[in-house]
Chain A
């Protein structure tokens, strides 16, 4: 199974700052990585597909990059509604797997 390692586990930031969240795959997966946001007691929401492709309705401050084994979710000018947990997920092979998540918290 492909293991996804997200870092850091927790990131403390202030509104208006910009951040980068990392997701590293245990083997090369091309661009078969997708990013989700999950707020407390809600379902996950798809933010980015195939490493860098935008999703309709998602604010433009969310962007993704990377290929192979290293991927990044970038959030520019963080807003209060962005404080939540972010997960990466791979679709290169079955079983699909998720990273353990990065919690973005208010500094």
Chain B
């Protein structure tokens, strides 16, 4: 089974802090994704990566950056956290084949005070 592990289930940070969310997958997947989930809005794509050091902006990249130094690890960075970034953050991974689904981690519920 594919395992996608997010480092924290719950995180509380203060406005202006630099925040790191970590995600690791164990299936040698090429693609990795960061989404945020808000009530009534479903999941929205922040960034994704299709290879080491390669990244592309998603639908809502403002206020975020990402890092992929190793194939198994994809980090989401909030450069200067703001209260409107309080949300559930979900990481996913998939192979490079178009017919394969994405597999998700358990999510990180982030609160910015």
- Binding partners A and B: no
A residues at B contact (CB < 8 Å): none
B residues at A contact (CB < 8 Å): none
